């Protein structure tokens, strides 16, 4: 019995009926190799989908209700499809209701249905469990509502709009784009200002990516994420008020940014540092693409380290747990690069580790990290996975 058959069995246990009309949808979590906090600053990013996913088992129910259940949560949610604007503050389910609301506002037909969620993307780890849920929900609701052919870039944009305007998290497009558009064994080099993209084979040779979860959950709506975005907007405003004419921070070179340094008075120096991270991170991301495409994994690893230092010192989006993982990783034999990934303020680190050193890496990291912060990390390894899709059982 596959996991899908087991989930169908659980679905019927909750909602009754038979297997008739049941459909299965799935979307992945992601890591971002490099390009952190610049998706909302007009920069390039390099995300990779994970094989860890969120699955939605779905079936129309012939009513005006969206009924939500999850394998990991005891409480269920029921929402009126004619009053979807009213569910912004649920203990859980607001992401799903937000997606349904945005789809409906954009002309998609939303029908009453029963939904069961099951996820292997760790929640609160910075691996985009929320974007995965949003995109899987969007695909499920759109298809149950009669849309057989979907524009997946549009689905990503609608999912982002739900998170921005309904949930209140001012995220960029990267997470939803990766969940919707990912390709197996590839990263996506995405220009977040134009949505132009290309797939990049992820070939690391003798090395592999180890994800270390600090187990210090970040709750982004309550964190400094929205504050960082506001600071970037303020920095751009200072620059453009002093003779600049830039659409985004990432459309500047470092030399251009430095020519405006005098415009940032003492109390605004923090804004300059935020801008400096964005500008240098954009350059690192472009260099990382070149390194990956030429097979220069060591240069790629060095760029990851530089990115971590920038987001720690200039963007201040790490914290003691992520700082501890980075410092420990860089002292372990066989590691050629390491950095935080995701929104930060907790969550995960990615390290580029020689394949024959993965187990020693985990052992040393667990011992040293536990000693440093008082509790153990978790580890994940995953190949680059597929984007959102409907699953058809044979």
Supply the pLDDT for residue 172: 87
Q: What percent of the chain has pLDDT over 70?
A: 98
Distance from the first to the final alpha carbon of the chain: 12
Return the minimum-mean-pLDDT range out of 14-28, 63-77, 119-133, 172-186: 119-133
For residue 228, count other CB atoms closer than 10 A to its CB.
23
Residues of the chain with pLDDT > 90, as a percent, come to: 90
Domain boundaries, the chain: 3-202+385-391, 207-380
How do residues 220-231 score in pLDDT, each as one tens digit?
545 678 899 999
Q: What is the pLDDT of residue 222?
A: 56
| Phi-psi region at 295: left, alpha or beta (left = phi > 0; alpha = psi -120 to 50) | left
Q: Which of 39, 114, 175, 314 is catalytic?
A: 175
Q: Report how far residue 192's alpha carbon sits from residue 367's, in angstroms, rounded to the nearest whole number.
A: 39
Which of 71-80, 87-96, 213-222, 249-258 is the least confident region? 213-222
Are the CB atoms for 45 and 179 separated by under 8 Å? no
Q: Over 80: is that where the pLDDT of 139 sits? A: yes
- Sign for the CA dihedral angle at 87, 391, 154, 33 comes to positive
Mean pLDDT value of segment 377-390 = 95
- What's the mean pLDDT when you consider all of the chain? 95
Category of 342 on φ-ψ map: left (φ > 0), alpha (ψ -120 to 50) or beta: left
pLDDT at position 344: 86
**175 is annotated as an active-site residue:** yes
**More confident: 128 or 307:** 307
The Cα–Cα gap between 197 and 190 comes to 4
113, 139, 275, 394 from 10: Cα distances, Å: 16, 21, 49, 19
Q: pLDDT per residue over 15-66, tens digit each?
A: 999 999 999 999 999 999 999 999 999 999 999 999 999 999 999 999 999 9
Residue in 349, 48, 340 with CA at minimum distance from that of residue 211: 349
Q: 207-380: which CATH topology?
A: Alpha-Beta Plaits (3.30.70)
- What is the average pLDDT across 303-322? 97
Reply yes or no on domain 3-202+385-391 having CATH 3.40.50.2300.
no
For residues 222 and 327, which has the higher predicted lDDT (pLDDT)?
Answer: 327
pLDDT tens by residue, 253-304: 999 999 999 999 988 999 999 999 999 999 999 999 999 999 999 999 999 9
pTM attached to this predicted model: 0.93
Sequence-separated (6 or more) residues with CB below 8 Å from residue 187: 33, 46, 47, 48, 199, 200, 202, 292, 384
Instruction: Answer yes or no: are the C-beta atoms of 157 and 360 closer than 8 Å.
Output: no
Give the pLDDT confidence score for residue 226 in this predicted structure: 84
């Amino acid at each position: 019995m596959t996991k899908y058959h087991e989930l169908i069995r659980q679905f019927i246990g909750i909602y009754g009926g038979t297997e008739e009309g049941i459909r299965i949808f799935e979307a992945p979590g992601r890591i971002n190799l490099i390009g952190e906090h610049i998706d909302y600053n007009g920069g390039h990013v390099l995300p990779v989908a994970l094989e860890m996913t969120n699955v939605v088992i779905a079936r129309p129910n012939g009513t005006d209700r969206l009924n939500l259940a999850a394998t990991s949560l005891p409480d269920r949610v029921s929402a009126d499809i004619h009053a979807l604007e009213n569910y912004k503050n649920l203990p859980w389910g607001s992401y799903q209701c937000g997606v349904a609301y945005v789809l409906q506002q954009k002309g998609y037909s939303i029908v009453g249905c029963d939904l069961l969620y099951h996820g292997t993307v760790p929640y609160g780890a910075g691996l985009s469990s929320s974007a995965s849920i949003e995109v899987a929900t969007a695909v499920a609701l759109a298809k149950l509502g009669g849309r057989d052919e979907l524009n997946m870039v549009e689905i990503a944009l609608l999912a982002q709009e739900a998170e921005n305007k309904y949930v209140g998290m001012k995220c960029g497009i990267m997470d939803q784009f990766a969940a919707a558009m990912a390709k197996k064994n590839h990263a996506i080099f995405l220009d977040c200002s134009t949505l132009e993209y290309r797939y990049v084979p992820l070939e690391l040779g003798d090395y592999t990516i180890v994800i270390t979860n600090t187990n210090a959950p970040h709750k982004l709506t309550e964190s400094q994420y929205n504050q960082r975005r506001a600071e970037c907007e303020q920095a751009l405003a200072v620059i453009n008020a002093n003779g600049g004419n830039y659409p985004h921070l990432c459309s500047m070179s470092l030399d251009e940014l430095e020519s405006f340094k005098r415009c940032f008075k003492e109390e605004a120096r923090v804004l300059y540092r935020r801008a400096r991270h964005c500008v240098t991170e954009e350059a690192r991301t472009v260099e990382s693409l070149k390194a990956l495409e030429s097979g220069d994994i060591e240069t790629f690893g060095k760029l990851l380290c530089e990115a971590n230092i920038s987001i720690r010192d200039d963007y201040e989006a790490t914290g003691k747990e992520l700082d501890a993982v980075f410092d420990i990783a860089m002292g372990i034999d066989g590691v050629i690069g390491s950095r935080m990934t995701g929104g930060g303020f907790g969550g995960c680190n990615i390290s580029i580790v020689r394949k024959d050193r993965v187990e020693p890496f985990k052992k040393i990291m667990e011992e040293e990290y536990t000693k440093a912060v008082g509790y153990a990390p978790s580890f994940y390894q995953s190949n680059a996975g597929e984007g959102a899709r409907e699953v058809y059982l044979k």
